[in-house]
Structure 1
Amino acid sequence: MQEQESRTLSFTTLAAGPDFRHELEIKRSRFITVLRRAESEEGARALVADLRREFHDARHHCSAFVLGADRDIQRSSDDGEPSGTAGVPMLEALLRRETAPGVTDLSDVSAVVVRYFGGVLLGAGGLVRAYSESVSTALALSPLVQRRRLRICAVRMPHAAAGRLENDLRSAGYAMAETGYEANSAVLRLALPDSPAALADAAGHLAAITAGAAALEPEGTEWVDL
């Protein structure tokens, strides 16, 4: 059975790079938040395993993650804290993070909060606020990027004409993916918005500037960081 393509054309995620870390101290307890970009449950859970090894003497390693362009995979764990006081508030912080005014589209993010107990009981309400604040503060400080699904289309042209065509397409505002080379032609690749209108517009423009000598060959879609 073929996997259904996402309904979503773009979402926000962490910028590619090392894990992002932030620490809060609340009533002598240390809350160390670590955020990692993850595109699978295996990748998201790997963060928990890594931090259990690094902070092996901590009492709690609470976690939450949201995955997929449609945010259809959501998990959380209290890891020994009273039920509902850690993982769920962390997940809510991920889901409610506004990436633009009124926009909540953060995904492919795994969050773990490592807690070192400081000897002062926070109570259920205090724990909810602490775990929520820990993740919300880390997200507010972390680098984010928009990730968009683009339609990749190939254009085959003789080597001698490919450079000029690529310059013409770039000048017209089209985004270009990596160029490939074959024995008798260069393969230019356009990265277009994934919509019939964008595809038709690009096809018409290409036909006009090449006098019908070149055509678009759809190659599928890719998720691209903008």
Structure 2
Amino acid sequence: MPAVDLSLFDALNALMSSRQTLSSPASARQDVKKSRFLAFAEAIESEEAAKAFLVRHQDLTASHNCWAWRLGQSYRFNDDGEPSGTAGKPILQAIDGQGLDCVVVLVTRWFGGVLLGSGGLMRAYGGTAALCLRGAEKQPLLDLVSATVACVFSDLALLQARLSALPDVVMQNPDFDGTGARWSLSLPRESAPEMERLVRDLTRGRAQVWFDS
């Protein structure tokens, strides 16, 4: 059996744990040879959220609305009429260059009458995106899992109080039936074993936990 390079696994784990996203929307602007560039950036959870962001922030009176987004292994970018590879791709490179994920960036340009050339466009779009992202507030990107908890009525209040006290747990309102309650929650993957033990210990095994695959 070939030897396993544990340092590679350590590096991959460190990379995953160091991923960041934006904690709040950000914007930045700069002027390049009489053209005005304005960038907006925001954290997203889905492609639909990215599309909604672009609809909200694009200016249809501007010369170009160029954008990129990154969601894990998925990404998209668009040059919106600029020469191929001079706008959307540099914006994506600005996102990746700062180790960000689940982020969308839109850079709008108002043409000022001076041609920038391919290199100038790449620097202007990528630079405006990078300027925006550098000044943005960031937070660690949590690896979340979804779970469902089911319990009898007598355990509900205690479970909700204790689970809501766990860091970064988001709980939905419970649904009730004739025997008890069932509700969904999301939490960091690393906290899942602790949550499952807590549910089991608090209810002496009466409650059940299912994790979404």
Q: Tell me the TM-score normalized by structure 2.
A: 0.69
Q: 1:198 to 1:143 in 2, by over 3 A?
A: same
Matched with 1:34 is 40
1:216 aligns with 2:208: yes
Identity %: 30
- Whether the 8 Å CA contact 1:51–1:61 is kept in 2: the answer is no
1:128-170 deviation per Cα after TM superposition (whole angstroms, max 9, x unaligned): 21111110111123344434322313030224x4323444555
Deviation at 1:171, TM superposition (A): 6.2
Question: Which structure shows the bigger proportion of residues in helix conformation?
Answer: 2
d(CA) in 1 for partners of 2:186 and 2:117?
52
Give 1:127's match in structure 2, choosing from 105, 121, 124. 121
| Displacement after TM superposition at 1:23 (Å) | 1.5
AA of the residue aligned to 1:71: Q
Which whole-Å deviations, capped at 9, do the CAs of 1:199-222 have from their partners, x for residues lacking one? 4x544443333333x23231527x
Kept in 2: contact 1:203–1:215 (CA 8 A): no
Letter in 2 for 1:154: V
1:192 deviates by: 4.6
In structure 2, the gaps of 5 or more residues are: 1-15
- Cα RMSD (Å): 3.6
Shift in alpha-carbon separation, 1:191–1:136, aligned structure 2, 3 A: same
TM-score by length of 1: 0.66
**Corresponding position: 1:44 with 2:84:** no
Native 8 Å contact 1:150 1:194 kept in 2: yes
Structure 1 residue identity aligned to 2:37: F
- Count of aligned pairs: 196
Match of 1:149 among 144, 147, 151: 144
Closer, same or farther: CA 131–43 of 1 in aligned 2, 3 Å: same
- More displaced stretch, 163-172 vs 82-91: 163-172
AA at the equivalent of 2:129: V
